[in-house]
Amino acid sequence: MENKRVVVTGIGAVSPVGNDAKTTWENIIAGKSGVGPLTRVNADDYPAKVAAEVKDFDIEQYIEKKEARKMDRFTHYAIAASMMAVKDANLTINEENANRVGVWIGSGIGGMETFENQFETFQKRGYRRVSPFFVPMMIPDMAAGQVSIFLGAKGINSCTVTACATGTNSIGDAFKVIQRGDADVMITGGAEAPITRMSVAGFCANTALSTNPDAQTASRPFDLNRDGFVIGEGAGIVILEELDHALSRGATIYAEIVGYGATGDAHHITAPAPGGEGGVRAMQAALNDGNIKPEELDYINAHGTSTEYNDKYETMAIKEVFGEHAYKLAVSSTKSMTGHLLGAAGGVEAILTVLAIKEGIIPPTINLVTPDPECDLDYVSDGARKQEVNIALSNSLGFGGHNATIVFRKYE
């Protein structure tokens, strides 16, 4: 049986650089950073002083306050981004098609804020005062669960939890659901709200976060002076659709998703495998899956976290996969502006990758002032670049050795 073709027909985002996909894209192309002072927790308690926080977001624009109170913030972001994506796709979900519309939205750490607040209540006032909604607010699958409930999507409903690879794995997994014929439409991506006391404490304790107090330069992927990632929050959701289904209803097509690769490092709980070996296999698998030759690729939206080993090893992995063509490729890390959205990163970055294809503009890597000699590719460090992009891939690499790559192609 021939695999079905799958296209992207809708996008929705809540990010540190904008509370919708359009604003997010415009600010990314303008090279504007969403990093600012750390305000969700008391910055005096931590060596990290900056974060990429979502600003001026109001969940009551999307759902009633009474319902919103039964959810953690990561679910708020997922619902808002999903509603925007469904609207953007001009998709109506009703009794006739609900069984063929699925949801696959992941979160790296789920409702950490809820967990912390409810544990405090439990310690001070006992179990009777813990919210009856505590567990359903906290568990990572609840973004997918609530999106399904609010939008009436009754197809496969799932959640991938693979740390920083979550968003990309979710989209890849959803792509395969449609490709094999188990759904016509998938609402998919990632959501995260990790700027909490314990999350920041944990990332500071394992020295993953930048301690640069200057918000404008703290996130600097591939720069010699990078010193860790900047924690971010938000959600990125795409609508994936079987091609004939999309054409039959006259949908706007952003791009076609053609390849997905996922691998495990089997190496270390937090450090990437030397030379980005797992990332090499993920990219190769995604190219093979999409029947794409390495020299056909135009652009890579890199994982590019601004940490010492990730940026070095990802660069090595790109060279390993693409050989001489690696130096002709455009590579950029939009995390230089969004910070690292953990489980939501792959969702937002998938949106930016398909828009690069659709608009013919490659997002820049900002703050790359002092190049690292070991990071010697074309990181688009001199502002956004107008260039035709026919084929692009997005990488995500997570704690636990999870590697995920998805490949998009201009729809023809």
Query: Is 340 a residue of the active site?
Result: yes
In the DSSP assignment, the letter for residue 48 is -
Are the beta carbons of 215 and 43 closer than 8 angstroms? Answer: no
Q: Is 309 helix (H, G, I), strand (E, B) or coil?
A: helix
Q: Which residue type is seen at 300?
A: I
From the number of C-beta atoms within 10 Å of its C-beta (0-12, 13-18, 19+), residue 323 rates as exposed
Distance CA(48)–CA(204), nearest Å, equals 7
Which position among 164, 245, 375, 402 bears the catalytic label? 164
Catalytic annotation on 204?
no
Dump the DSSP string for 162-208.
-GGGHHHHHHHHHHHHHHTTS-SEEEEEEEE---SHHHHHHHHHTT-
C-alpha separations of 245 from 5, 94, 184, 372 in Å: 10, 15, 7, 47
Catalytic-residue membership of 164: yes
H or E element: which one contains 13? strand 6-14
Of 76, 159, 245, 303, which residue is the catalytic one? 303
Tell me whether residue 159 is exposed, middle or buried, using C-beta atoms within 10 angstroms of its C-beta: 0 to 12, 13 to 18, 19 or more. Answer: buried
From 76, 159, 245, 340, active-site residue: 340
Hey, what are 286's tokens? Answer: 């995604």
What amino acid positions are annotated as catalytic residues?
164, 303, 340
